A and B are shown apart, each in its own frame.
Chain A
Amino acid sequence: MKPKLAVWKFASCDGCQLNVLNLEDELLALAGAVDIAYFLEASSATVDGPYDLSLVEGSITTPGDAERIQEVRRVSNAVVTIGACATAGGIQALRNFGDVREFSEVVYASPDYIATLDTSTPIAAHIAVDFELRGCPIDKGQLLEVVSAFLAQRRPRVRAHSVCIECKRRGTVCVMVAHGTPCLGPVTHAGCGALCPSFDRGCYGCFGPMETPDTAALSVRLQELGHTDRDLVRVYRTFNAAAEPFQIASEAHEANAES
């Protein structure tokens, strides 16, 4: 019997699960190798669990979703989170630093209609997760590697070093050293293939913190390049704002900016 794959969505933009459908050259082969048993964005047919592998997109932001993720864990042999929302809370975790009631009033004239939690939290804050794939969005090559690895019951080959290594590997000249362009590459997890520097811009941290990020050292350099504490709060506070190393860094600069 073919292994059963499920794809679940929580608060997100759908971009990471879209990258499953973006596997144009491999999609029909993948559908031949696994039973895509639950994937609402692609199919109205659903097969009941248990599932061998569940891919989870999105973060937990409502009371209902906090319950639903428990059910996903119960019916899944392995759970892999895909993307910055599921792994670090996503851009919607910016609410963690603000007042969600006030946020709701800004967007909706009748906020009472809206059921939402005060925070956006990653999946691992709620259930045991077997592997976290990073990126905003995830890289589809890495996704294929992770799915293949779980089907073969081996460890995924996903490196946790910085974007800097990827620049060196592709031969991209360092934008910070050569042009003084502020870049988060030294503290950011690899996986995108160092896209931004190859487009003459600094990395802006889509993949979240690398394994041993030295944000303090990077901040010093970014300040030399003209960033204020207020700029640095924004720099660390984007799609992986609630990932611990980035949260600590942004809160430190926030305290400086206010003092």
Chain B
Amino acid sequence: MNIKVLGACASAIALLGGAAQAEISGDAVKIGVMNDQSGLYADLAGQGSVEAARMAVEDFGELDGASIEVLSADHQNKPDVGSNTVREWIDVDGVDVIVDVPTSSVALAVTEITREKNKVFLVSGAATTQLTGEACSPTTIHWTYDTYALAVGTGRAMVQEGGDSWFFITADYAFGHQLEEDTANVVKEEGGEVLGSVRHPLSTADFSSYLLQAQGSGAKVIGLANAGTDTTNAIKQANEFGITQAGQQMASLLMFLSDVNALGLDVAQGLVLTTGFYWDMNDETRGWSERFNERAGQMPTMVQAGVYSAVLHYLNAIKAAGSDEAPAVVEQMKATPVNDFFAKNGTIREDGRMVHDMYLARVKKPDESSGPWDYYEILRTIPGDQAFLPLEESTCPAVNQ
């Protein structure tokens, strides 16, 4: 009897010992950063996101008995290319987590694969709310922003300032459609109306035709439901065609720091935008961003800052859980609040949404800017519980059960 008890104690201790030492598959944590590294979204994510992931790994330090490796790949904004890369990464290279993946159409394809293969997917670059809605997955966490937050931030602010009739110029794929839909909902909720919309192919150079249609609609606000160089070209040409001078307002629903940098303040001044992060907010954000700038040669966009925050939180969770098995890590990540330069008291909901404060910003006039990258004036903080779709309204099947 006593021997049996002893034996049970011994095996219990052995089990505990085993759990305390991290059980890392393949003795390596492999982080696969995949995004657009050559096309229109390469500056807002691209190599900068890879660099941010590397910084997170370095800042995290050592993991007992396992190495940490960062891989990167270009998905060229094509769902088929992205799917193939992710399958190869997981099946052949033993990658544990997929990170970033801007371009919603690609992210939606990836989330199906990581669900099937039971791997973690940390989304920073993609925007569509479907990732935490119909397409939500137990191992997908949507970190930085989404189309709902952009609609609530910029959309509501514009309507409240009198812009109550809208015309949308929309990128013709998953992201654009979702952003238009979410914004249109907010506009109608606030008592405004939507007069029409036009859809353009991804990566368009000439927007004059669409702008002319928007002008002809007589809407007070022209909402740009697109991103990257599509947005910058549209804004530049709206300026050229005298659209803003004639009294119509441009609403750049998704605009990154890299876009403002490319446009120059002369053209971009006065635009209102929603962002999850701005480098010049406090000592903490400045400190990290300057380190990033030294390595990447540009100040971070919210996507790149979000990649760092997500990867660091992920690695800390592995350490705490003592395992790199997806369900255990995700459970640990959801149980721990996110506290770093990017988010204060951020929480990860059961639908995979990381809830944190967003900011409404206005692009400075050239004479208000003190130098390179001094672009935003933060108008107000949008608290996390207002910025993101309330859990009760979520269409995620796992939530409604």
Tell me whether A and B are bound partners.
no
